[in-house]
Amino acid sequence: MSTGATTDGRLPTAGRNAVWYDARAAMPLLSVRHLSTGFPMGNRWVPAVQDVSFDIAKGETLALVGESGSGKSLTAYSLLRLVPPPGRILGGEIQLEGRNLMDLPEAEMERVRGAKISLIFQEPMSALNPVLTIGSQLVEAMTVHGLGGANPRATALELLATVRMDDPARRFAEYPHQLSGGLRQRALIALALCCRPSLIVADEPTTALDVTIQAEILNLLRQLKHDFGLSLLLITHDLGVVAHTADRVAVMYAGRIVEESPVRALFKAPAHPYTQALLRAMPGSTHSARRLEPIEGQVPSLQQMPPGCAFAPRCAWRHDACLSEVPAMYAVSEGHASRCLLVREAQQLAADHAAGLPTD
């Protein structure tokens, strides 16, 4: 299979970069390769998600992080083949348990949405039916999927207890508008669990909630992942949410993944200048100065993507090559890669040094 994370022939160490994400565990639950999704603008298709590749193992949480407009939600919708028209998937592969979802007939895709991948949104009201009680929505969802057993009401009550609803019997009989934001999000999580999915895609699940409730919901997701062996794609614009919830992080900028890393390595040694800038802007981070530094400049618009690295116009480290060449993902360490020419240069210097060549 050809991939975008190509080997750079010039480098003696290029082997390290060869499709670095393909060297992972035998069969990930979800494997996304070269996903591009875009919109028609004028007479062409403009990608808003471009060449996105990542894996999620069984029981693993991958956080997809980036500023608003970086393409996180579109990535999520693409996984479910629910890209809002006139947008559409322009290319790539999405393998779930070894099946390419792109090839499935719509009826089968429907079953995947119901039974394998559940989506949780930022605003639970939009996903809950306002005229049905929480209990009847759960019972209905279980019935549709042929689950729930002989006594769906009892199973629904159990689910409400699983998502740590206080007084499940009372909540069972309540309507969505009677619940607080946090309880509504719990109800939505219960609904997402109805079909026993293997993957939950949570798109900014705590963004609308206050900090205490946010922590409770993240705790709950962590617990569910542990108890049910669920995999989680946690989408957030908030790096603070990531540290205690995710195993790995993929940072998105202007439609591309620019850095991917185990969570600890990302916070300890961020490799991409954009991630470094995000961390400097994060309150309480060890990388932040006492005063928060906003990232200067703006995210480029889809119609005016710079030809090289999309972050180059805002990057303090840019040089000429960055303005014309889109970098590949270069391996920094085990499982950690950065879409930045600086990494390639560092590797080049190290290789020259090892070969006894002058390094300047």
User: Which residue lies nearer to ligand ADP by CB, 281 or 321?
Assistant: 281
Q: Which does 302 bind (CB under 5 to 8 A by kind): Mg ion, ligand ADP, none?
A: ligand ADP
User: Which residue lies nearer to ligand ADP by CB, 122 or 347?
Assistant: 122
Residue 28 in contact with ligand ADP, rule: CB under 6 A: no
Residue 48 in contact with ligand ADP, rule: CB under 6 A: yes
Closest distance of CB 355 from ligand ADP, Å? 43
Buried b (16+ CB within 10 A) or exposed e, 160-186: bebbbbeebeebbebebeebebbbbbb
Q: Which does 66 bind (CB under 5 to 8 A by kind): ligand ADP, Mg ion, none?
A: ligand ADP
| Cβ proximity of 344 and 7 under 8 Å | no
Residue 166 has which token pair?
């206080």
From the list 66-74, 162-170, 208-216, 271-279, the region that binds ligand ADP by CB under 6 A is: 66-74
Residue 256 in contact with ligand ADP, rule: CB under 6 A: no
Residue 84 in contact with ligand ADP, rule: CB under 6 A: yes
| Cβ proximity of 252 and 35 under 8 Å | no
User: Which residue lies nearer to ligand ADP by CB, 251 or 265?
Assistant: 251
Residue 162 in contact with Mg ion, rule: CB under 5 A: no
Residue 47 in contact with ligand ADP, rule: CB under 6 A: no
Q: Which does 242 bind (CB under 5 to 8 A by kind): Mg ion, ligand ADP, none?
A: none
User: Which residue lies nearer to ligand ADP by CB, 214 or 347?
Assistant: 214
Closest distance of CB 65 from ligand ADP, Å? 9
Residues 87, 229: Cα–Cα separation, whole Å: 33
Buried b (16+ CB within 10 A) or exposed e, 291-302: eeeebeeebbeb
Name the helix (H) or strand (E) containing 186. Answer: helix 181-193
Q: Beta strands 88-96 and 30-41: pairing type? A: antiparallel
| Out of 4, 60, 72, 337, the residue judged to bind ligand ADP by CB under 6 A | 72
Residue 249 has which token pair?
């992080």
Kindly determine how many residues on this chain lie close enough to bind ligand ADP according to the rule CB under 6 A: 13
Residue 52 in contact with ligand ADP, rule: CB under 6 A: no
- Burial of 359 (C-beta count, 10 Å sphere; 0-12/13-18/19+): exposed
**What is the 3-class SS of 139-168, one letter each residue?**
HHHHHHCCCCCCCHHHHHHHHHHHCCCCCH
| Cβ proximity of 341 and 309 under 8 Å | yes
For the sheet with 117-120, list strands across it: 117-120, 199-203, 231-236, 61-65, 248-253, 256-262, 336-338, 330-333
Closest distance of CB 34 from ligand ADP, Å? 17
Residue 303 in contact with ligand ADP, rule: CB under 6 A: no
| Cβ proximity of 275 and 348 under 8 Å | no
352 phi/psi in degrees, rounded to 5: -60, -40
- Binding to Mg ion (CB under 5 A) within 219-278 occurs at none
User: Which residue lies nearer to Mg ion by CB, 49 or 183?
Assistant: 49
Closest distance of CB 66 from ligand ADP, Å? 5
Residue 73 in contact with Mg ion, rule: CB under 5 A: yes
User: Which residue lies nearer to Mg ion by CB, 73 or 276?
Assistant: 73
Residues that bind ligand ADP (CB under 6 A): 39, 48, 66, 68-74, 84, 87, 302
Residues that bind Mg ion (CB under 5 A): 73
